[in-house]
Structure 1
Amino acid sequence: MQTAARIEEALEQAVALARGPGAPPLLASALHYAVFPAGHRIRPQLCLAVANACGDPDRIASDATAVAIELLHCASLVHDDLPCFDDAGLRRGKASVHVEYGEALAVLAGDALIVHAFATLGGAARRNPAQMAALIGIVAQSVGSPHGIVAGQAWECEVAVPLSDYQRAKTGALFVAATMGGAAAAGHDPEPWRALGEKLGEAYQVADDLRDVLCDAEELGKPIGQDAIRLRPNAAAELGVDGAKARLEGLVKAAVASVPDCPGALELRQLIEAQTRLFFPKQLARAAA
């Protein structure tokens, strides 16, 4: 099965369990709306790519890890769009969850997705409890405090926002979970894979900062110019477009170089080089072509 189809099938199965018999109908509908149709699925794709490079001997573990990470990402988007944070009416080219279902159901849907992410990991634990305990730890660290996505969101409530700390938590944390989780799911030591997640997470955030400056809402699928409006750190604003582009290119090279030795290292490096080109805004991608 192709990776994209594998991810969608695993996500459909996971979300179906959360929407099972007895679930409040509006909540069940909001959960599906928050996860489908697909975004780019960058984080679960990365998780499975690392697992595959390490041999991927246990697809149940790697699928559960990839699904958990994507559910957490979707939950973060639902909460990020709420009126108390970005008050964004558009996400992935359609109305945000709170616009479609109301603020109360959006809060509950995001909460439910977080809990169900860990339920998905727990459901796979019976086969290898020790392995799954390690995976739960990796994923949990990417969510909470001091360095997870909750901390990343909390930095937006501070007066002074250090760019590196903000980006590491807000965006980088789930990329680290994807690389370390993919390795751990395949039975490999996850720690050597941390650097790859950190580099790719920062690269994605720099690219997102560039898109926020250069793209229109239709291309971005969400409101533009939010960093400037809300006085948030932005690599393009701090470094200039050319400086941010150079930083992005340097991070991609560093990410490729950081791939640890494993059976599929060469193929993974080639995949990263190809896929990270998709990070670039269209204007920069055309210029680089």
Structure 2
Amino acid sequence: MPLSFFSERIEAAIADAVGMTQSGMPPAQLTSAVQYAAAPGGARIRPTILLSVAMACGDDQPAVTNAAGAALELIHCASLVHDDMPCFDDADMRRGKPTVHLAYSEPLALLTGDSLIVLAFDVLSRQSPDRALPLIRHLATRTGTPFGICAGQGWESESEINLSAYHRAKTGALFIAATQMGAIAAGQDPEPWEELGARIGEAFQVADDLRDALYDEVELGKPVGQDEIHNRPNAVTELGVDGAVSRLKDILGGAISSIPSCPGEASLAKMVQATAKKLIPSSKLNRVPGE
């Protein structure tokens, strides 16, 4: 299944979700900021993984899958809005355009992130309870603390960082949510899918470190060198470029091997490979594991 197929489903689901904020008489600037933050421009990797897992498991209720994918991406968009604010990274570019706090103001950026979080759970709450409740629970677990992206951000305020917990929460949490929510959306047990999400999240972190080291701001669409500026752990700093590339290959190989047995196992492995190619600097990798 081409990645463009997932893109069409994801963008339509996100547009439907954001459209919910326009009913009644909402404040115009906040509504515009929410649309701006959730607009196409990102890779949509997390919902792509979610939809891929759901399809590999049968995808018997596509509307639930679409809602789950939209909710997950809305949480990710919210985290980017908050991460970019002056109290955290103080970034001026995201996805090739001004960050929300620069385009709209700091108060509106804070409200935008909050609105996107609430909207994500609103979207899930409208689905059938037998799947909505576990989807809400898993997304909440991977959003808050102690295991979610809020915990990941919180580790940066500690005097000593537990590197494994930091990476698993800040980067890995929403990838674990992606694989487990994909299984739940298709009516399957989410537990066997945790390892795949964790491995993809770890791979994404290493790939992001490589991109930060090798690309410039125009290529990335966001500021580079943030880890060095904020004294954060970085795979390239610790392992060098070649070491980080080698580590990335190992992680991706393990990710493909960890895919649980399911009807669409082979197609899912190809999707992981295709997604990896979008993340990894092609000049540094000769091939993706599993090809």
* Residue of structure 2 in register with 1:37 after alignment: 40
Task: Give the unaligned 5+ runs of structure 2.
Answer: none
* Residue of structure 1 in register with 2:22 after alignment: 19
Amino acid at match of 2:16: Q
Amino acid at match of 1:192: P
CA distance in 1: counterparts of 2:196 and 2:178, whole angstroms: 10
Q: Does 1:263 align with 2:266?
A: no
3-state SS of 1:173 partner = helix
CA distance in 1: counterparts of 2:275 and 2:64, whole angstroms: 24
**The 10-residue stretch of structure 1 (198-207 or 150-159) with the greater mean CA deviation from structure 2:** 150-159
CA shift, 1:19, in A, is 2.7
Q: Does 1:225 align with 2:230?
A: no
Identity rate, percent: 52
Q: Among 73, 77, 84, which residue is 1:74 paired with?
A: 77
CA distance in 2: counterparts of 1:61 and 1:150, whole angstroms: 25
The answer on whether the counterparts of 2:126 and 2:132 sit within 8 Å (CA) in structure 1 is no
Equivalenced residue count is: 285
Q: Among 69, 92, 97, which residue is 1:94 paired with?
A: 97
Q: Deviations over 1:104-154 (max 9, x none)?
A: 000000000000000000011xx3x12211111111111000010000111
Q: Does 1:130 align with 2:130?
A: yes
Q: Could you list the runs of 4 or more consecutive aligned residues of structure 1 that deviate by over 3 angstroms after TM superposition? A: none
Amino acid at match of 1:75: A
CA distance in 2: counterparts of 1:160 and 1:241, whole angstroms: 25
* Residue of structure 2 in register with 1:200 after alignment: 200
Q: Does 1:57 align with 2:60?
A: yes
CA distance in 1: counterparts of 2:283 and 2:232, whole angstroms: 23
Amino acid at match of 1:59: P
The answer on whether the counterparts of 1:62 and 1:182 sit within 8 Å (CA) in structure 2 is yes
The answer on whether the counterparts of 2:227 and 2:234 sit within 8 Å (CA) in structure 1 is yes
CA shift, 1:209, in A, is 0.8
Q: Deviations over 1:208-260 (max 9, x none)?
A: 01111111001111000110111001111111111111111111000000000
CA distance in 1: counterparts of 2:73 and 2:192, whole angstroms: 22
Task: Using structure 2 for the length normalisation, give the TM-score.
Answer: 0.95
The answer on whether the counterparts of 1:259 and 1:269 sit within 8 Å (CA) in structure 2 is yes
3-state SS of 2:65 partner = helix
* Residue of structure 2 in register with 1:155 after alignment: 155
CA shift, 1:50, in A, is 0.2
The answer on whether the counterparts of 2:171 and 2:202 sit within 8 Å (CA) in structure 1 is yes
The answer on whether the counterparts of 1:19 and 1:31 sit within 8 Å (CA) in structure 2 is no
* Residue of structure 1 in register with 2:12 after alignment: 9
CA distance in 1: counterparts of 2:237 and 2:274, whole angstroms: 26
CA distance in 1: counterparts of 2:287 and 2:108, whole angstroms: 43
Q: Deviations over 1:26-61 (max 9, x none)?
A: 000000000112310000000000000001000111
Task: Give the unaligned 5+ runs of structure 1.
Answer: none
CA shift, 1:21, in A, is 2.6
CA distance in 1: counterparts of 2:120 and 2:132, whole angstroms: 13
Q: State how 1:173-188 maps to structure 2 within 5 Å.
A: 173-188=173-188
**The 10-residue stretch of structure 1 (159-168 or 75-84) with the greater mean CA deviation from structure 2:** 159-168
Task: Using structure 1 for the length normalisation, give the TM-score.
Answer: 0.96
3-state SS of 1:2 partner = helix
CA distance in 2: counterparts of 1:163 and 1:206, whole angstroms: 13
